[in-house]
Amino acid sequence: MLTVRARSRHELAEELDRRSVPKDAATSVLDRLTQVGLIDDVAFARGFVETRVRERGLAAREIERQLRTKGIDGDTAEAALTEVNPSAERETALRLVRKRQRALANLDTATQTRRLAGLLARKGYSAGLTYSVVREVVGEAGLHGTADEDAGLG
Protein backbone atom coordinates (compact mmCIF):
# COMPACT_ATOMS: atom_id res chain seq x y z
CA MET A 1 0.00 0.00 0.00
CA LEU A 2 2.86 2.38 0.71
CA THR A 3 4.28 1.94 -2.78
CA VAL A 4 1.16 3.53 -4.29
CA ARG A 5 0.98 6.61 -2.02
CA ALA A 6 1.67 7.76 1.51
CA ARG A 7 -0.78 6.42 4.07
CA SER A 8 -1.68 7.29 7.62
CA ARG A 9 -1.05 4.81 10.39
CA HIS A 10 -4.81 4.49 10.81
CA GLU A 11 -5.34 3.56 7.14
CA LEU A 12 -2.67 0.87 7.35
CA ALA A 13 -4.06 -0.45 10.65
CA GLU A 14 -7.53 -0.74 9.09
CA GLU A 15 -6.13 -2.65 6.11
CA LEU A 16 -4.20 -5.04 8.33
CA ASP A 17 -7.36 -5.60 10.38
CA ARG A 18 -9.36 -6.20 7.20
CA ARG A 19 -6.82 -8.86 6.22
CA SER A 20 -7.22 -10.49 9.66
CA VAL A 21 -3.67 -9.80 10.79
CA PRO A 22 -3.49 -10.36 14.58
CA LYS A 23 -3.58 -7.06 16.51
CA ASP A 24 -0.23 -7.59 18.26
CA ALA A 25 1.52 -8.43 14.98
CA ALA A 26 -0.09 -5.45 13.25
CA THR A 27 0.96 -3.11 16.06
CA SER A 28 4.50 -4.44 15.93
CA VAL A 29 4.72 -3.94 12.16
CA LEU A 30 3.19 -0.46 12.32
CA ASP A 31 5.55 0.54 15.15
CA ARG A 32 8.54 -0.63 13.12
CA LEU A 33 7.36 1.19 9.98
CA THR A 34 6.92 4.34 12.07
CA GLN A 35 10.37 3.90 13.63
CA VAL A 36 12.09 3.70 10.25
CA GLY A 37 10.09 6.64 8.88
CA LEU A 38 7.83 4.85 6.41
CA ILE A 39 4.78 5.96 8.38
CA ASP A 40 4.73 9.61 9.39
CA ASP A 41 1.29 11.04 10.08
CA VAL A 42 2.63 14.60 10.35
CA ALA A 43 4.30 14.46 6.92
CA PHE A 44 1.27 12.63 5.52
CA ALA A 45 -1.06 15.41 6.75
CA ARG A 46 1.15 18.17 5.31
CA GLY A 47 1.32 16.48 1.91
CA PHE A 48 -2.39 15.74 1.96
CA VAL A 49 -3.22 19.39 2.66
CA GLU A 50 -0.88 20.62 -0.06
CA THR A 51 -2.30 18.36 -2.77
CA ARG A 52 -5.94 18.92 -1.81
CA VAL A 53 -5.50 22.69 -2.01
CA ARG A 54 -3.38 22.70 -5.16
CA GLU A 55 -5.09 19.98 -7.19
CA ARG A 56 -8.68 20.05 -5.98
CA GLY A 57 -9.10 23.56 -4.60
CA LEU A 58 -10.60 22.31 -1.35
CA ALA A 59 -11.21 24.57 1.64
CA ALA A 60 -9.49 23.95 4.97
CA ARG A 61 -12.76 22.79 6.55
CA GLU A 62 -13.21 20.00 3.99
CA ILE A 63 -9.56 18.99 4.16
CA GLU A 64 -9.79 18.71 7.94
CA ARG A 65 -12.85 16.47 7.61
CA GLN A 66 -10.99 14.23 5.16
CA LEU A 67 -7.92 14.06 7.41
CA ARG A 68 -10.08 12.91 10.31
CA THR A 69 -11.54 10.11 8.18
CA LYS A 70 -7.96 9.01 7.54
CA GLY A 71 -7.33 8.82 11.28
CA ILE A 72 -5.27 11.98 11.67
CA ASP A 73 -5.75 13.49 15.13
CA GLY A 74 -7.05 17.02 15.55
CA ASP A 75 -3.74 18.58 16.62
CA THR A 76 -1.85 17.11 13.68
CA ALA A 77 -4.57 18.17 11.24
CA GLU A 78 -4.66 21.67 12.70
CA ALA A 79 -0.89 22.01 12.44
CA ALA A 80 -0.94 20.92 8.79
CA LEU A 81 -3.77 23.31 8.01
CA THR A 82 -1.89 26.35 9.33
CA GLU A 83 -0.29 26.52 5.89
CA VAL A 84 -3.68 27.32 4.35
CA ASN A 85 -4.17 31.01 5.01
CA PRO A 86 -7.52 32.76 4.51
CA SER A 87 -6.31 35.00 1.68
CA ALA A 88 -4.94 32.02 -0.25
CA GLU A 89 -8.21 30.19 0.34
CA ARG A 90 -10.14 33.18 -1.03
CA GLU A 91 -7.87 33.33 -4.11
CA THR A 92 -8.41 29.62 -4.73
CA ALA A 93 -12.18 30.09 -4.46
CA LEU A 94 -12.04 33.04 -6.88
CA ARG A 95 -10.01 31.01 -9.38
CA LEU A 96 -12.46 28.09 -9.21
CA VAL A 97 -15.54 30.28 -9.62
CA ARG A 98 -14.07 32.36 -12.46
CA LYS A 99 -13.16 29.22 -14.36
CA ARG A 100 -16.59 27.67 -13.89
CA GLN A 101 -18.48 30.91 -14.55
CA ARG A 102 -17.21 31.04 -18.12
CA ALA A 103 -19.03 27.80 -18.86
CA LEU A 104 -22.21 29.15 -17.26
CA ALA A 105 -22.23 32.52 -19.03
CA ASN A 106 -25.29 31.67 -21.14
CA LEU A 107 -27.45 30.91 -18.06
CA ASP A 108 -29.54 33.40 -16.09
CA THR A 109 -27.87 35.02 -13.09
CA ALA A 110 -29.87 33.12 -10.48
CA THR A 111 -28.86 29.78 -12.00
CA GLN A 112 -25.24 30.89 -12.30
CA THR A 113 -25.21 32.05 -8.70
CA ARG A 114 -26.79 28.85 -7.42
CA ARG A 115 -24.41 26.60 -9.36
CA LEU A 116 -21.32 28.58 -8.43
CA ALA A 117 -22.33 28.61 -4.77
CA GLY A 118 -22.92 24.86 -4.93
CA LEU A 119 -19.46 24.34 -6.41
CA LEU A 120 -17.79 26.08 -3.48
CA ALA A 121 -20.09 24.49 -0.90
CA ARG A 122 -19.13 21.02 -2.12
CA LYS A 123 -15.48 21.96 -1.72
CA GLY A 124 -16.04 23.00 1.90
CA TYR A 125 -15.99 26.79 1.66
CA SER A 126 -17.96 28.76 4.27
CA ALA A 127 -21.24 30.36 3.26
CA GLY A 128 -19.88 33.86 3.85
CA LEU A 129 -16.83 33.35 1.65
CA THR A 130 -18.90 31.51 -0.95
CA TYR A 131 -21.42 34.28 -1.41
CA SER A 132 -18.78 37.00 -1.31
CA VAL A 133 -16.76 35.32 -4.06
CA VAL A 134 -19.79 34.42 -6.18
CA ARG A 135 -21.16 37.96 -5.88
CA GLU A 136 -17.77 39.36 -6.94
CA VAL A 137 -17.40 37.07 -9.96
CA VAL A 138 -20.96 37.48 -11.15
CA GLY A 139 -20.51 41.23 -10.71
CA GLU A 140 -17.30 41.14 -12.78
CA ALA A 141 -19.32 39.55 -15.55
CA GLY A 142 -21.57 42.59 -15.51
CA LEU A 143 -24.49 40.65 -14.09
CA HIS A 144 -24.45 41.65 -10.43
CA GLY A 145 -27.54 43.86 -10.57
CA THR A 146 -29.97 40.96 -10.75
CA ALA A 147 -27.86 38.10 -9.42
CA ASP A 148 -28.04 39.36 -5.85
CA GLU A 149 -31.78 39.92 -6.02
CA ASP A 150 -32.62 36.71 -7.93
CA ALA A 151 -30.52 34.53 -5.65
CA GLY A 152 -31.54 36.24 -2.43
CA LEU A 153 -28.06 37.61 -1.82
CA GLY A 154 -28.94 41.31 -1.72
The sign of the dihedral angle between the CA atoms of 88, 90, 94, 96 is positive
**pLDDT of res. 34:** 93
**pLDDT of res. 142:** 63
Burial 17-31 (b: 16+ CB within 10 A, else e): eeeeeeeeebeeebe
Let me know how many helices (H) and strands (E) the chain has, helices first. 9, 0
Q: What is the distance between the alpha carbons of residues 91 and 64, in angstroms, rounded to a whole number?
A: 19
**pLDDT of res. 139:** 83
Low-confidence ranges of the chain (pLDDT < 50): 143-151, 154
pTM over 0.85: no
Q: What is the distance between the alpha carbons of residues 119 and 124, in angstroms, rounded to a whole number?
A: 9
Three-state secondary-structure class, residue 6: coil
pLDDT in tens, 50-89: 999 988 999 999 999 999 999 999 999 999 998 788 888 8
